[in-house]
Amino acid sequence: MSLSQADMAFARELFGNIPDLTTRRMFGGMGLYSGGTIFGVQLSDGRIMLKAVKGPFADRMSDLGGEEWTTMRKDGTPSAMPYWTLPDAYLDDPEQASALAFEALAALR
């Protein structure tokens, strides 16, 4: 499955307040960058995720109802990735989504 042009346009519009916003297609999805720093991804199924390594911002994403991205290894064990789903309430509000993305970027620097 691959992202549609409409899905990609939605993510770009949602994070339109992020300075130096760029995107790059990857693995059927898309990376979201600010000034060359990846702060999020949009998976091939359209889900938007923000990068949050272990710590206060990851805890905040969990508290907001975000779910950590997990994949299955070849041996069947789960592997957690440092990305959390953008909570549904933020999908309808570019201002709030961008504010949360700014928090993600601050935690990455």
Report yes or no: 43 and 78 within 8 Å, Cβ to Cβ.
Answer: no
Q: What is the mean pLDDT of residues 3-12?
A: 92
Give the structural domain span for 9: 5-108
How many separate domains does the chain show? 1
pLDDT at 41: 97
pLDDT at 1: 63
Q: Decide which of 42 and 28 is more confident.
A: 42
Q: For all residues of the chain together, what is the average pLDDT?
A: 93
- Spatial distance between the Cα atoms of 61 and 40, rounded to a whole number of angstroms: 13
Burial of 68 (0-12, 13-18, 19+ CB in 10 A): middle
The CATH code of the domain that includes 76 is: 3.30.1460.30
